[in-house]
A and B are shown apart, each in its own frame.
Chain A
């Protein structure tokens, strides 16, 4: 099966070119080819009209291509300057490293980019946004002609995105060609001039962005009209399931109080870094908190005890699927069963037949696409992996399901499935607390919308009186009224 067939993209100097496509459309394969990690079977990249073979990351670097990944790979124990110049440090006589020049050169790069970072500091502890800037500085120092950015904004706050876009504009004016890969259409419209859409390994559309609408792009990506369905009528919320009272953790979140009832979906919106995931993790017991209490169905929960939270009926789908939601080496079946081993026991022993049946049952219910149940879960697509995580928790029949960024990094079709699933769960009486940074998602399925900013709740909206503008205003502090 081919990952990519006959893909042609032309990148011009001084232009930001978007590359769109669902998961599995072939974008990452293109990135890997450009990065020198994979070799194409036929055809080759041309730079300035000359063919180049990219045998390795070194080859790609020499050809003038730099790739900025979503999660930058820096050396945490080394300084920023060393990170930029590793392997190419300026030298003094006798091939000794010239640290002063390395430092000065790094500072000059940052000045060129218009950012302020200290080249002499250790890179451990840098935010992801800063790490990306370091990577970009590295690319700049290599006289890169082509910069590929693979989902660079996924983990950035709005301010950091703005800064990144300024940097990208600087790169443009410097004559670099930027290939910008993203799931976020609004960003594409903001920063890119042209776009290529891929589907099923082929490119289906290449054009100037001017004159296109989001719908056009989505249609090209998916191949059919995607209608945003209404979530259906909302039932009345049932009894109180979760009550959080004055939850506080020094420096992270303050005085958080909220309720979630059976049958309702409470969405927790806000900027990245506002403390939402921390609140969720504190409720579930992964993180600690300093004051306040968490009450599930009338019983107060012990702090910092995921076991207690699970026993009380909470399920938690974490933000980071690969590191936190799944054991990537284990099979689909084992992952689905991982949180329910206690229930699959007979006389203290777990039988794998029981595991298999359990997993198979949930695979059907969630329409999971997989090879075999015993395949490692790493082989599944992002969307199906998320379904495995959901199956793991749904198998426990939780009274409260906390989902943190439920559709991050998932293709559009599965995204819709997940939304439908959540709505159906609510109809069935499950209380759902959903953290999301995607406003359409929040508005689409949230019954009540809470907004956090810098660790505090700043607003609450019902489904009918919420709007994107209002939520954003509350998230960024422009709204005067409190919740």
Chain B
């Protein structure tokens, strides 16, 4: 993920300042494609050592594992880009997973889409609670979502009691969702990729999406520019919650045994993935695609460790190290970029 920032002499007659634009575009495209490049390199290297890394079964497994994280990364990206953070997604996922999956036990024959709707509804409600508190109360999202992390997990524990949902209670049509494939690729992975694509496109090409970036880039200016800050932040948290709700249902279909610990700790992993994927922790820049690739990268490392015979327990340390590496490189690049840009902006007449 290294990149060199080179100075360019502008040829006479070049459009003013276009050198700086090309420079920034190049650097930012590098950041987004950098993470993709790292992923590809990593996959290539691992496959060359152990070709079975890319075999059908392994790939399916990898893709499925990633879907939940990638989905969560999409929601978290929307929130982080606006200079907020959603720590409650793990708890929302857990609550949704249990409640929706236990529906099968309480109401046998319940149609699966309804179960998804229930999960979505739970996530939506939690997300709206977060959104209202942060947007209307104007209180720091870290504290609010930390509080809701506790509260929602507490509700989950109360509802779960000492029980758990086990695989027997779940119908095959449900548990097969993560496994159904077309041409060897799981349907689910394709669906999630499409959703992420839509999400990323929304953030890039629609006014309200761009306003999220504006809010993250300079909240004061956003207010002065008459951007409906409260409304946008509310939407971001609502979507993040809803996504976590849906992710919970998928999680249940995937892992099939759900107790009150489902989803614990996911929030920090997702934030890691998002930051590794190029989203600035203080908002204003980054893309959902990058974040999803970050999640994919972390999953790939997990899978690679498995395939290459390394003990699984190296994963945590590696992912922590990767995050530190990513933000350090980002910082170095950003410092060089700002200095280079300032030298190109003499302010007058050029």
State if A and B touch, Cβ cutoff 8 Å.
yes
A157 to B349, CA, bound (A): 13
Kindly provide the distance from the CB of B100 to the nearest chain A CB, expressed in whole angstroms: 33
Q: Report whether B227 and A86 are in contact in the complex, using a CB–CB cutoff of 8 Å.
A: yes
* In the assembled complex, B15 has its CB within 8 A of some CB on chain A: yes
What residues of B have a CB within 8 angstroms of the CB of A117 in the complex? Answer: 16-17
A95/B218 contact (C-beta < 8 A), A56-B226, A76-B284, A159-B348 known: no
Interface string of A101-133 (1 = CB under 8 A from B): 000000000000000111011101111011000
Kindly provide the distance from the CB of B349 to the nearest chain A CB, expressed in whole angstroms: 7
A124 to B27, CA, bound (A): 14
In-complex Cβ contact of A126 among B206, B222, B284, B345 (8 A)? B345
A129 to B218, CA, bound (A): 19
A87 to B222, CA, bound (A): 10
What residues of A have a CB within 8 angstroms of the CB of B285 in the complex? Answer: 77
Interface string of A152-179 (1 = CB under 8 A from B): 0000010110010000000000000000
What residues of B have a CB within 8 angstroms of the CB of A57 in the complex? Answer: 223-226
In-complex Cβ contact of B226 among A58, A78, A130 (8 A)? A58
Those of B180-217 within 8 Å (CB) of chain A: 205-207, 210-211, 213-214, 216-217
What residues of A have a CB within 8 angstroms of the CB of B210 in the complex? Answer: 78, 82, 86, 89, 97
Q: Report whether A129 and B347 are in contact in the complex, using a CB–CB cutoff of 8 Å.
A: yes
What residues of A have a CB within 8 angstroms of the CB of B344 in the complex? Answer: 125
* In the assembled complex, B2 has its CB within 8 A of some CB on chain A: no
Kindly provide the distance from the CB of B107 to the nearest chain A CB, expressed in whole angstroms: 40
Q: Which of B18-26, B53-61, B269-277 contacts A (4 or more CB under 8 A)?
A: B18-26
* In the assembled complex, A286 has its CB within 8 A of some CB on chain B: no
Kindly provide the distance from the CB of B90 to the nearest chain A CB, expressed in whole angstroms: 28
Q: Report whether B341 and A78 are in contact in the complex, using a CB–CB cutoff of 8 Å.
A: no
Q: Report whether A116 and B16 are in contact in the complex, using a CB–CB cutoff of 8 Å.
A: yes
What residues of A have a CB within 8 angstroms of the CB of B349 in the complex? Answer: 116, 159, 163
In-complex Cβ contact of A77 among B15, B21, B217, B226 (8 A)? B217
Interface string of A393-420 (1 = CB under 8 A from B): 0000000000000000000000000000
* In the assembled complex, A229 has its CB within 8 A of some CB on chain B: no
A145 to B15, CA, bound (A): 31
Kindly provide the distance from the CB of A52 to the nearest chain B CB, expressed in whole angstroms: 15
A87/B225 contact (C-beta < 8 A), A73-B218, A121-B17, A122-B24 known: yes
Q: Report whether A121 and B20 are in contact in the complex, using a CB–CB cutoff of 8 Å.
A: yes
Q: Chain B CB within 10 Å — which of A77, A117, A124 has the most?
A: A77
Q: Report whether B218 and A74 are in contact in the complex, using a CB–CB cutoff of 8 Å.
A: yes
Q: Report whether A77 and B213 are in contact in the complex, using a CB–CB cutoff of 8 Å.
A: yes
Q: Chain B CB within 10 Å — which of A56, A74, A116, A121 has the most?
A: A121
A97 to B347, CA, bound (A): 29
Q: Report whether B207 and A87 are in contact in the complex, using a CB–CB cutoff of 8 Å.
A: yes
Kindly provide the distance from the CB of B272 to the nearest chain A CB, expressed in whole angstroms: 21
A206 to B342, CA, bound (A): 42
Interface string of B335-350 (1 = CB under 8 A from A): 0011001101111111
Query: Secondary structure of the B side of the interface?
Result: helix
A130 to B348, CA, bound (A): 8
Interface string of A61-100 (1 = CB under 8 A from B): 1000000000001111110001000110101000111000
Q: Report whether A118 and B21 are in contact in the complex, using a CB–CB cutoff of 8 Å.
A: yes
In-complex Cβ contact of B216 among A77, A121, A122 (8 A)? A77
* In the assembled complex, B136 has its CB within 8 A of some CB on chain A: no
* In the assembled complex, B329 has its CB within 8 A of some CB on chain A: no
Residue of A nearest to B20 (CB): A121
In-complex Cβ contact of B284 among A77, A86, A95, A160 (8 A)? A77
A159 to B350, CA, bound (A): 12
* In the assembled complex, B220 has its CB within 8 A of some CB on chain A: yes
In-complex Cβ contact of A61 among B207, B211, B218, B226 (8 A)? B226
* In the assembled complex, B221 has its CB within 8 A of some CB on chain A: yes
Interface string of B159-196 (1 = CB under 8 A from A): 00000000000000000000000000000000000000
A61 to B342, CA, bound (A): 31
What residues of B have a CB within 8 angstroms of the CB of A95 in the complex? Answer: 206-207
New A-B contacts (5) at CB < 8 Å, excluding given A86-B227, A116-B16, A126-B345: A75-B213, A76-B218, A121-B341, A127-B342, A163-B348
List 16 A–B pairs whose Cβ atoms lie within 8 Å, in order of A's numbering. A56-B226, A73-B221, A77-B280, A77-B285, A78-B210, A86-B214, A87-B211, A121-B21, A121-B24, A122-B341, A124-B338, A125-B20, A125-B337, A126-B345, A129-B347, A159-B348
Point out residues on B near A: beta carbons under 8 Å. 15-18, 20-21, 24-25, 205-207, 210-211, 213-214, 216-218, 220-227, 280, 284-285, 337-338, 341-342, 344-350
